[in-house]
Amino acid sequence: MREFTPTRAAGLARLADFTPRMGRRYTSGRNYDYGPDGHKDVSGLSPYIRRRLVLEEEAVAAALEAHGPEGAEKYIQEVIWRSYFKGWLEHRPGVWARYRDGVLQDMDAVSRDRALRRNLDQAEAGQTGIACFDAWARELVETGYLHNHARMWFASIWIFTLDLPWRLGADFFYRHLLDGDPASNTLGWRWVAGLHTRGKFYAAQAWNIAKYTGGRFAPREADLAVVTQGLDASEPDGLPAVTPLRVPIAPESAAPSLLLVTEEDCRVEDFANELSDLRAVVALSASHLRSPRDVADDVLTFEAGALADAGGRLGQAFEMKRAGVSSDLATWAVKAGARQIVSPYVPEGPLRDWIIEAQPALQAQNIRFCEWQRPWDAAIWPHASAGFFKVKKAIPKIIAQRQLI
């Protein structure tokens, strides 16, 4: 898989290159992980879609045009999984809070337990002695990417064979994945652990790894734990109740505005023309907020490139800022003479936490934080309150509603 260049142009080139393989070839080959140089049957679009350098709708429309609804069915479903996870977490923001606070608790436990510290270090360094797991750990650190099937195997081995805290595994992924997303990453790990869908978990099996790596790895059955139940007993109260989706504050088109560009949506040119009194543009670097630990340089570099590309496409002067003290947000707005800060919707995750922290300072200056919500999210998220089947059933309606055919 070629290098990830953090621009919309690079994302569109990758989209065009992969479109012919979005049909039957993707359906039959998507589960095979042939290694870092062999990812031919998956698109590698996730770092671009995660930041909306390429939109989900663009990927789905390309698949439909090239292969039709039946031929592109599996590819479309996989694109929509990411939107489903985002909507699911919007319905249950408490799950993100549990993860965020739990990582700190797990890190505290590591600081007090030498054996756990040693085992965690070995897993992250790819030195466990389980060849496939160690190779995936090194690939993740070196490339910022892992095949989706490898992510499932890796998480299962981390949780059930190595008996390491699942949240620290999710944190390891989140610090290194170029496509790291708070919803997909957190809920993907919870799904493997048996916490997302109660009573269901994912058990890595030696025969499955051997088959879908084309024989690159051939672990012994004895190398992997026999899994009979997930971790649902660790959350005896079960899942939080479904809450209504948050309704963002809509911007006023004529109000003096500061436009905030973040890695949550780097296609701000879709909205910016709605602001008739734009005083300043701030491109906010925030990927360092992903973890209390150091986030990989490759992630920081990709984010910086994506933000610069987004700012350049706006055709407006912009400043690059780093999310530090949250009250800085109000300071920037006051300096610009803005009465509202406007951004594409910021979903649950560390940046949303930072903006919530900024609210008292914004309110003290009588500055509103306003958001645009994409129709794509508005079409999918109401269906994302339970399992994926509800969303899957609605896909034809969503495609028609968005006029993608």
- Domain CATH number, residue 127: 1.10.579.10
Same domain as 17, residue 104: no
Full residue range of the structural domain in which residue 82 is found: 8-90+379-401
| pLDDT given for residue 198 in this prediction | 86
Residue 1 binned pLDDT confidence (cut-offs 50, 70, 90): low
Residues 132 and 157 in one domain: yes
Residue 28 domain-assigned? yes
- Give the up-direction half-sphere exposure of residue 128: CA atoms within 13 A in the CB hemisphere: 26
Same domain, 177 and 266: no
335 and 394 assigned to the same domain = no
Same domain, 51 and 161: no
164 and 214, same domain (yes or no): yes
Predicted local distance difference test score (pLDDT) of residue 106: 98
Judge whether 248 lies within some domain.
no
* pLDDT value of position 115: 97
User: Which CATH number does the domain housing residue 38 bear?
Assistant: 1.25.40
Asked whether residue 239 is assigned to any structural domain, the reply reads: no
- The verdict on 215 and 287 lying in the same domain is no
Please say if the pLDDT value at position 228 is more than 70.
yes
If asked whether residues 206 and 170 sit together in one domain, one would say: yes
Summarize pLDDT for 363-395 with one digit per residue, the tens: 999 999 999 999 999 999 999 999 999 999 999
Q: What is the DSSP string of 50-80?
A: HTTSS-HHHHHHHHHHHHHHHHTHHHHHHHH
Counting DSSP H helices and E strands in the chain, the numbers are: 17, 5
State the chain's mean pLDDT as an integer: 96
Neighbours of 113 (CB within 10 A): 12
Domain membership flag for residue 2:
no
* 251 located within any domain: no
Say whether both 152 and 214 belong to one domain: yes
Give the global pTM.
Answer: 0.97
Number of domains in the chain: 3
Length of the chain: 405
Residue 205 tokens read as 């099996």
183 and 105, same structural domain?
Answer: yes
- Tokens read off for 309: 């590309």
Question: Would residue 386 count as lying in a domain?
Answer: yes
Instruction: Indicate the SS3 state at residue 325.
Output: coil
Q: Is it the case that residue 230 has pLDDT exceeding 80?
A: yes
Confidence of residue 285 (pLDDT cuts 50, 70, 90): very high
In a domain, 35, yes or no: yes
221 and 168 within one domain: yes
